Amino acid sequence: MRLLILGGPRFLGDHLLTAARARGHEVTLFHRGRHSTATADAETILGDRNADLAKLRGRTWDAAIDTCGYHPRAVRASAEALSAAVERYIFISSVSVYSDALDESAPLETLSAEELRQADAIDVTGTVSAATYGKLYGPLKALCERVAEEVLPGRVLSIRPGVIAGPRDYTDRLTYWAVRVARGGEVLAPEPPDRSVQLIDARDLSEWIVAMAEARATGIYNAAGPPVTMADLLESCRAASGSDASWTWVSEPFLLTERVTPWTELPLWLPAEASQRRPALTILSARKAVERGLRFRPLHDTIAATLQWFSEERRELRAGLTAEREWELLRSWHASTG
């Protein structure tokens, strides 16, 4: 097959490229050139999807995989530009489209009239404040799905992943925990220990997406890994690294009082109220995708590969508590609990 990947090879795009090449497919990358790929000889067309779609004219592919569509205007432009050039349009959406989710039949997030005006004012580059991005991300992804289907009816495959993890994950959501536990010692962990976490390895997701492209699949599919508890996640990190780490479980009221930022200072942690508003992050059903061949490698393998990759990166973590902040929080917690 001939595949076109829209978006840079920073994380998922690179794994998609690897998976496609491993199965003998020809791949063209279309991105701005801000990030490199491990596959140096991949055909690359440098350009901005908001200004340079004309560079794709005169070419045909069996499928396009849109990894970076965020604003409906940009997705509409891409789908229209490729309508005669591709047989299938695969849109990488998000579980954030759900207002309350268990499976693909759940209702989707919507925008109020004011939010629609706000979204319409966003530059198509997607450059917005973090607060605005977080508020509009899910509803805009849902609109992107709708737009793609409007332009290419019956030819769109929308994938709604949960939290994607593994090597090359620049968000450091799983990476923080793997690296922190590998460092050993007393680790601050957010209660409760049995809180559910769902992760999907980017390599598993990529291999399945390529297989779905081969099958010329259409429709909507959730893609999330099996739920594990936070305690099990930490234990898997300790087993993968062989460290002497131990856990100090800290209560939600304490974390909120200390103004610990959910999801960034403590990756994968959301307060109970936020979790109830966003259940798709922890209890999403991927049964439909599993029935179509989605498979999951052991969590231990994902953690080990992430640690190996990060050791080669030689950079600072972009998420998680600093050592100083964690020490201060642990000291305050022990003082408050006597």
Three-state SS letters, the chain: CEEEEECCCCCHHHHHHHHHHHCCCEEEEEECCCCCCCCCCCEEEECCCCCCHHHHCCCCEEEEEECCCCCHHHHHHHHHHHCCCEEEEEEECCHHHECCCCCCCCCECCCCHHHHHHHHHCCCCCCCCHHHHHHHHHHHHHHHHHHHHHHCCCCEEEEEECEEECCCCCCCHHHHHHHHHHHCCEEEEECCCCCEECEEEHHHHHHHHHHHHHCCCCEEEEECCCCEEHHHHHHHHHHHHCCCCEEEEECHHHHHHCCCCECCCECCCCCHHHHHHCCHHHHCCCHHHHHCCCCCCCHHHHHHHHHHHHHHHCCCCCCCCCHHHHHHHHHHHHHHCC
Overall average pLDDT of the 81-89 stretch: 97
What integer pLDDT is reported at residue 7 of this predicted model? 92
Give the integer Cα–Cα distance in Å for 235 and 300: 10
Over residues 120-173, the pLDDT tens digits come to: 666 544 555 555 666 788 899 999 999 999 999 999 999 999 999 999 999 999
Over residues 25-72, the pLDDT tens digits come to: 999 999 988 766 555 568 899 999 999 999 999 999 999 999 999 889
Overall average pLDDT of the 65-90 stretch: 95
HSE-up (13 A, CA, CB side) for residue 121: 9
What integer pLDDT is reported at residue 151 of this predicted model? 98
Over residues 18-38, the pLDDT tens digits come to: 999 999 999 999 998 876 655
Contact yes or no for 319/191 (Cβ under 8 A):
no
CATH architecture of 166-198+227-281+298-338: Alpha-Beta Complex (3.90)
Q: Sign of the CA dihedral 148, 152, 154, 157?
A: negative
The C-alpha angle with vertex 76 and arms to 70 and 78, in degrees rounded to 5, equals 85
Q: Which of 36-45, 59-68, 92-101, 239-248 has the lowest average pLDDT?
A: 36-45
Q: Model confidence at 114, in pLDDT bands (50, 70, 90)?
A: confident
Overall average pLDDT of the 297-322 stretch: 95
CATH of 1-161, one of 3.40.50.620, 3.40.50.720, 3.30.450.20, 1.10.260.30: 3.40.50.720
The C-alpha angle with vertex 235 and arms to 230 and 237, in degrees rounded to 5, equals 95
Give the integer Cα–Cα distance in Å for 68 and 91: 9
Q: Which of 82-91, 163-172, 274-283, 308-317 has the lowest average pLDDT?
A: 274-283
Domain ranges of the chain: 1-161, 166-198+227-281+298-338
Overall average pLDDT of the 64-85 stretch: 95
Over residues 249-288, the pLDDT tens digits come to: 999 999 999 999 999 999 999 898 765 556 556 678 999 9
Residue of 177, 193, 184 whose CA lies nearest to 237: 177
What integer pLDDT is reported at residue 338 of this predicted model? 73
- Find out whether the peptide bond into 192 is cis, omega within 30 degrees of 0: yes
